[in-house]
Amino acid sequence: MLVLALSAPAYAEDERLAQSRALAGQFAGELMTALQNAMAAAGPADAIEVCGRQAPEIAARLSRLSGAHVSRVSSRFRNPQNAPDAWQLEALERMRAVMSQTPTPPDPATLPERFELDDRGGARYLKAIAIAPLCLTCHGEAVTGEVAGQLDEAYPYDRATGYRLGELRGAFSVDWPAP
């Protein structure tokens, strides 16, 4: 696993790093399970609903349980609520550069992450999300038919298509408030 911006020994000892990794892993696992179930039951139409409705619900539940703000961000977002702030955008660009040098598809265990402490005692974490085969149905280079129509209707300003397998889609984000 490539960790960006973890040069200080205190970072590795900060319990929020392990908690952030666990939250991002739980979010990823729950989201992938929901997407796989939706695709198997009703096809891509339901998968669009999972990302649009269930993903924010998963994030909100994990936020309530942890005390951190859990979300997804992307520089090529479908939902404007997933737009990155300046710190996240810079981290996403660094992650994209790292991932462009790795085999496709990347090993999920080696996806880049970033963890930083702020001056007030808060902490921020990002874990890269790579485009997996399942994601290509709604985010790939050739989104067509009913899926394209549904996306156009639900997301008229969609910036989240045109991806290839293994590319950086975005990141799971965990923001810890200052104590």
What per-residue string of b and e applies to 40-69 under the rule 16 or more CB within 10 Å gives b? eeeebebbbbbbeebbeebbeebbeebebe
Strand partners, 114: 4, 126
**What is the per-residue pLDDT for 107?**
84
> Cα(94)–Cα(35) distance, rounded to whole angstroms?
28
Please, what is the end-to-end C-alpha distance for the chain in angstroms?
28
Per-residue pLDDT tens over the stretch 92-140: 999 999 999 888 878 888 899 999 999 999 999 999 999 999 899 999 9
Q: What is the pTM of this model?
A: 0.91
Give me 44's structure tokens: 């891509």
